[in-house]
Amino acid sequence: MSDARARLSQALDAPWKITNAWSCWWAYPRTRLLFALNGIPWGSSWRFYGAPIIQKHRGSRMTFGPGLRLRSAARSNPLGPNRPVMLVTWQAGAVLAAGRDFGMTGGTICAAREVTIGDGVIVGANTTIVDTDFHALDPECRLRGPDLAATAPIRIEDEAFIGMSCLILKGVTIGRGCVVGAGSVVTVDLPPACVCAGNPARPIRPL
C-alpha cells in the first residue's frame, strides 16, 4: 500500500486525526508569534496541537530542542488534557530547558530556579512539574512575598517517561529511562531504568 493510501485509510479509520492535523496548522502561526514575542528560539520539526500558554520572566531563559511536541487542545489526546500546556519561568534567572523530542500533553512546567529535561522525555496528560513551593512555610515570610518560598532545581534525564496526572516537586532528579506511574507524587530522587510509582513515588521494579 502506498503512503498516500495508508494515510487515507488511517484517516477513515480514525477521523479525529484529521481534526488534530488541522489544529496543528491552525495553531502554528499563533504559537510561532507567541514564542517570538517571548524571545524563545524557534526549533525544527516542532508540532503543536493547540497553542500553549507561556509566561516567561524577562530575565529568564527558555530553550527547547528539535522535535518538540505539545498537545494543548482537549481533543488532541484520548486522555483529554484539561488545560493547555503551560510553560512558566517565574523569577529572574530562572531556566526551563528541554532537549530533543520532548513531548507533553496538558499540564504545567514552572521554573522559579531551574527545570532541566533531557532528550526523548515524554510527560503524560495533566502532569505538573514545579521547582518551588510558591509560598514560604513561615506565616510572616508568606506575607512578605512569594519570592521567599523554597526552590530547588529539577532534573529529568534522557528517555524518562512520566505518566498522566503526576506531581513532580522541587529538588528531585528522575534518572535516565525511569518510568513514573500515573498519579505519582515525586518528592525524592528516582533511579534510572526502573518503574516508580506511589505517593510518595518509590522504585517498584527495575526495567
Just list the catalytic residues.
Answer: 135
CA distance 201 to 48: 30
CA distance 102 to 104: 7
- Residues forming a β-bridge with 86: 53, 108
By CB neighbour count within 10 A (0-12 exposed, 13-18 middle, 19+ buried), where does 207 fall? exposed
Task: Provide DSSP, 123-162.
Answer: E-TT-EEESB-SS-SSHHHHHH-GGGS-B--EEE-TT-EE
In the block, which residue shows the cell 520572566? 57
CB 129 within 8 A of CB 109: yes
Helix (H, G, I), strand (E, B) or coil at 100: coil
CA distance 56 to 35: 10
Q: CB atoms < 10 A from the CB of 166, how many?
A: 24
* Dihedral in degrees, nearest 10, Cα atoms 73, 196, 100, 3: -60
